[in-house]
Amino acid sequence: MKVGLLGWVVLSCVAGLLVSACGGSDDEIPDSGYGKLQPVPAMSCEALCVRQGDCGEHICNEDTNSMKYTGLGTVITSLCKSACTESQISAQVDAATWACLFQSSCRAVLAHDACHIQASYQCQ
């Protein structure tokens, strides 16, 4: 695995642009388990970007204890798709890391870097 996985593709970039609209990321927020044990799809930008969008939106809603960021996932997904290439994914992620991205909860991946891809997010 190469560290970074495109910064969990665009999420670090998108997090700075869009997820910053949320509250604050907080490692002390309990992990609800959202997104855990999802079927592992074939490696693709589509799968990664949809996962990012879903996780980003859900974590912002969890962090703010609201639903006001519902719809943010669509924007994250779209931005991710515009920056992602299949060759980037195949060059930067191995099968175990890919599985981890879908088998771990969204909070474990983004807040606790469970898949060791230097993932992080910050809602502001």
Query: 30 lies in a domain?
Result: yes
Read off the tokens for 96.
Answer: 């175990």
Q: Terminal CA-to-CA distance of the chain, rounded, Å?
A: 30
Query: 74 lies in a domain?
Result: yes
| Helix count and strand count (H, E) for the chain | 7, 0
Query: 15 lies in a domain?
Result: yes
Alpha-carbon distances, residue 50 vs 60, 92, 104 (angstroms):
16, 18, 15
Query: 78 lies in a domain?
Result: yes
Tell me the residue range of the domain where 89 lies: 5-110
Q: Which residue has the tokens 């002390």?
A: 28
Query: 68 lies in a domain?
Result: yes
Question: How many folded domains does the chain comprise?
Answer: 1
Residuewise pLDDT in 10s, the chain (124 residues): 333 444 544 444 344 334 434 444 445 788 999 999 999 999 999 999 999 999 999 998 998 888 988 998 999 899 999 999 999 888 888 999 999 999 999 999 988 889 988 887 776 5
